[in-house]
Amino acid sequence: MNMHRAVITLLSDQVVPASLFILSAAHPEDMVFVITTGRMKEKGKIDDLTQSLQNRFVLKEIIVDNEDSIADVSTRLDEFNWKEYDEVLIDLTLGTKIMSLGVHSYFSRFHELYRKPKIIFYYQPAGKNVIKTIDSESFLEPPPLSLEEYLLAYGISIINQQTSCTGHPLFTQSLIHTYNDRWINAARLFRIIRNAEKPDLKKKKNINLSILQNTPVIKKNKEIWQPSGTELQEMADFCTAAGFDTTNLTKSQIEYLTGGWLEEWLFEKVQQILPQPPQQRGHWIALSLNIRTKNGTENEFDVALVNSNNAFRYAECKTSLENEQNGSSLIENTLYKQSALRKNFGLSAAPMIVTVDSIKKSARKRAQDLDIRIICQDDIQNEEILKEKLISYLG
């Protein structure tokens, strides 16, 4: 005869721990309860949890009106017949301290009075991918979340992502060591074309480089640019080296040549160094990931992943940290942008900047202050250091 079980989690802004506990502890036939506040419900946290769980469980809500009142917690719990269960598993990780104390006190007293059900309390230590019992040495090992499951827990939806690499892996790898001034200039020229008002790559599916000999490019600021013969040759050489057809150059190929190759290099390198977590239900890593928050804000991550410890990592790749318009450094703006983004993705979120440019000591210090990891040209050229840093930063 199967045990009649209830699984209970508290819920607050950090939804992932609740998702991990339910996935670890609950069976399909179990009753799953969520204890939270009216404010959290209004913020859509229960909906986020349901989405993250991919609708595998029906969640019963226990809404506490006064999160600072142990009496209110007890009153709400009294509305349910807990004696009908053989076992109740409770995670106290989330919610306010008062709510956690209230839930612990209620069920401890309940068991003393009725000797049923069996009560097991759990908690999740910060920064550790384990769910421990309070009263014994036993623990639950959380399953690996997919990238989509993690993002859904924070109300973030995936719009689209690059499904395959544009460049050949061998050429992409070689660019790490051969990205010289000639290729850098060719990439700059391709960025002019990519951002141009005419030809409009949003409308055109492909472009023939030779037409630029007689057709001027109109920039967004309405400035007219006519590439020289030398510039056209540099662009053509870069295309040919990458194995692209100069008479039928696609938008994705232009993106690759303007700097997308560094994103693809990191995407491939990470998968070589950090193998896919076992028993994964979906993709754990994404390339050129476009996302949307509940308030409609859209962002793009060059590379994003959820590692085997269910922690979120994301990287911005920069072939250059210099503003091509005025020669100023982009590093400060890049650092602040990544620092601001992280608050949307849970306590485990950690950004990284990858560049084939050099970085000053002052910028490194600023990145350290903001807890942002940096991998630059010197790191990339040393395979052992690169591997060590990627494992440390992303693992």
Residue 245: both structure tokens together: 């057809």
Q: Is residue 282 part of a domain?
A: yes
Cα 74 to Cα 78: distance, rounded to the nearest angstrom = 6
Q: pLDDT above 70 covers what percent of the chain?
A: 96
Q: Give the distance, in angstroms, between the CA of residue 216 and the centroid of all CA atoms in the same chain.
A: 40
C-alpha triplet 38, 294, 307: angle, nearest 5°: 100
Q: 10 and 119: one domain?
A: yes
Distance CA 241, CA 122 (A): 57
Asked whether residue 204 falls in the same domain as residue 304, the answer is: no
Residue 184, domain extent: 170-256
Per-range mean pLDDT, top range of 32-46, 189-203, 222-236, 370-384:
32-46
Judge if 252 and 361 occupy the same domain. no
Q: Which position has the higher pLDDT, 20 or 210?
A: 20
Pair (123, 179) in one structural domain: no
Quick one: pLDDT at residue 137?
A: 85
Residues 51, 133, single domain; the answer is yes
Number of domains in the chain: 3
Whether residue 263 sits in one domain with residue 248: no
Q: Band of the pLDDT at 360, cuts 50, 70, 90?
A: confident
Q: Note whether residue 349 is domain-resident.
A: yes
User: Which is it for strands 312-318 and 217-218: parallel, antiparallel or unpaired?
Assistant: unpaired
| Domain at 28, CATH number | 3.40.50.10770
- Contact in structure between 215 and 200 (CB atoms under 8 Å): no
* DSSP string covering 47-101: HHHHHHTTT-SPEEEEEES-TT-HHHHHHHHTTS-GGG-SEEEEE-SSS-HHHHH
pLDDT band at 233 (very low <50, low <70, confident <90, very high): very high
Same domain, 133 and 179: no
List, as one string, the DSSP characters of 222-248.
Answer: S-EE---HHHHHHHHHHHHHHT--TTS
Same domain for 44 and 125, yes or no, is yes
Looking at the fold, whether 291 and 386 belong to one and the same domain comes out as yes
What is the arithmetic mean of pLDDT over 274-278?
Answer: 72
Q: What is the pLDDT of residue 335?
A: 87
| Predicted structure pTM score | 0.90
- My answer on whether 270 and 383 are in the same domain is yes
